[in-house]
């Protein structure tokens, strides 16, 4: 009877091998394991509901993805391009530099999930940066899109360590405690500020060089 509980693993393996819908495979595997364990159908559904309720705050962020998809389908990228094209003096470097500053400041406050590749870079920042460049070359457009994603990564990576409750700060504190070095999270976050400033200056220089290159074309 105990071994039958493992039938869910077999269902999952065969389901993925046969390339069925992953959600259907997981549901079928859960039902197989639950029924093999002697649970009633109502109890299995209740277990699903309890698991979803306990992790609902983690799952909420995935609601953003279909919303962004619907907005893109309704012309979000085109509107973003039209907006930046109508601004005088707007350049790719200036736009990305402003986004870099925004990303670093919000990450330093612990607001790491309000922007990102899916939420802002793909639907807004990258199309606006491409429009600001005025380039029709597909290779150059792809380069600008990649630079937009890199700007987001730099802002997040070097900004989040300033926030004292971020995982990396807590990890470093735990390691220091094991080595007998007593430091508070605030001490570690303060030393992240110079690194963030240097990162902003270095990436800002790269963006300035991009503007100089576009101006010379």
By residue count, the chain amounts to 217
pTM listed for this prediction: 0.64
Burial class (CB in 10 A: 0-12, 13-18, 19+), 169: buried
Instruction: Show pLDDT as tens, one digit a residue, over the chain (217 residues).
Output: 466 777 888 888 888 888 888 878 888 888 888 888 888 888 888 877 777 666 555 555 566 666 666 766 777 667 767 777 666 777 899 999 999 999 999 999 988 888 888 888 988 888 888 888 888 889 999 999 999 999 999 999 999 988 887 777 778 888 888 888 888 888 888 888 999 999 999 999 999 999 898 877 5
| 209: Cα separation from own chain's centroid | 27
Output the CA–CA distances (angstroms, integers) from residue 154 to 32, 97, 147, 158, 204, in the order listed.
Answer: 46, 11, 10, 6, 11
**Per-domain residue ranges for the chain?**
3-54, 75-216
């Amino acid at each position: 009877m105990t071994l039958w509980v493992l039938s869910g693993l077999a269902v999952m393996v065969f389901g993925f091998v046969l390339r069925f819908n992953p959600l259907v495979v997981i549901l079928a595997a859960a039902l197989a394991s639950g029924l093999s364990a002697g649970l009633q159908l109502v109890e299995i559904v209740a277990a699903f509901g309890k698991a979803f309720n306990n992790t609902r705050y983690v799952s909420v962020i995935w609601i953003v993805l279909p919303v962004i998809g619907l907005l893109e389908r309704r012309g979000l990228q085109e509107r973003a391009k039209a907006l930046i094209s109508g601004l005088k003096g707007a350049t790719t470097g200036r736009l990305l530099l402003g986004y870099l500053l925004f990303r670093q400041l919000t990450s330093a406050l612990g607001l790491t999930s309000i922007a990102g590749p899916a939420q802002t870079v793909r639907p807004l920042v990258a199309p606006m940066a491409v429009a600001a460049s005025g380039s029709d070359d597909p290779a150059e457009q792809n380069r600008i899109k990649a630079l937009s994603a890199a700007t987001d990564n730099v802002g997040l990576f070097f900004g989040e360590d300033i926030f004292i409750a971020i995982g990396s700060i807590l990890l470093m504190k735990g390691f220091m405690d094991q080595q007998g070095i007593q430091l508070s999270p605030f001490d570690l976050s303060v030393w992240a500020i110079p690194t963030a400033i240097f990162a902003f200056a270095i990436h800002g220089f790269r963006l300035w060089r991009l503007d100089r290159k576009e101006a010379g074309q």
